[in-house]
Structure 1
Amino acid sequence: MFYANKKTTVAANQAQQSAKILANVKSLLEKKLITINDKAIFLYPQLWKDAPSAINWMKCLQIYCILKRQIKESDTLNFYDITSQQAIGIIANKKAKLIDFEFKHQE
């Protein structure tokens, strides 16, 4: 859409984004690639390719937990490696942060 000779974009529908997130997380849960126990999320770190995608994953999983697990947005979520049980990330006070996490590029 053009407005005053400037191109503008329409923001994505929040409901559609939430529905996609719910469907994707449900699929990963069914495949046992992630496990959610209360406020702890266990996953394979190979799902995270780089820091921006890891932060996005964490935010998407937070949205899933808010909508499906009835946690509060301000609650702390901890992310762990599903195989080693090592902490790899945290969302606290609505901010996602990686913890001692190194990205290993698979070829």
Structure 2
Amino acid sequence: MIYAKKKVQQTAHLAAQAAKIIANVKELLEKNLLRIEGNEVYVYPEILKDKPTALNWIKCLHLYCMLKKRFKESDSLFFKDYTTGEQIGAYKNKKASVTIFT
């Protein structure tokens, strides 16, 4: 659909993406494969698979925290191994980073 010479389908697509992210994160939380405590997210490294997948997960989980936990876009989020507590990634200064695939 074009409105004022601009496409407006992008917003609907983003809403659908956000809904899918929320559903996926809720499912992982219910299965105890993911735990969110404040600005720390505990996740099993096996879920992250490789670096591109891990970066995508980090961005998606930050979006989830912004929508559901009332985080600000500039808030930091730290990702830790579910079993050991070792830091495996972070979302700081609007950038995702991973330490387990370097």
Partner Cα separation in structure 2 for residue 63 and residue 24 of structure 1 = 12
**Number of paired residues?**
93
1:1-31 Cα distance to aligned partner (Å, 9 max, x none): xxxxxxxxx7570000000000000000000
Give how far 1:89 is off. 0.2
Equivalent position of 2:4 in the other structure: none
* TM-score, length of structure 2 as denominator length: 0.87
Within a 5 Å distance, the mapping from 1:17-96 to structure 2 comes to 17-96=17-96
Structure with the higher helix share, 1 or 2: 2
Partner Cα separation in structure 1 for residue 94 and residue 101 of structure 2 = 22
Partner Cα separation in structure 1 for residue 14 and residue 30 of structure 2 = 24
Give how far 1:76 is off. 0.5
Answer with 1 or 2: which has the greater Rg. 1
> Structure 1: which 5+ runs fail to align?
1-9
Partner Cα separation in structure 1 for residue 98 and residue 17 of structure 2 = 24
Identity of aligned residues (%): 48
> Structure 2: which 5+ runs fail to align?
1-8
Runs of 4+ in 1 over 4 A off after TM superposition: none
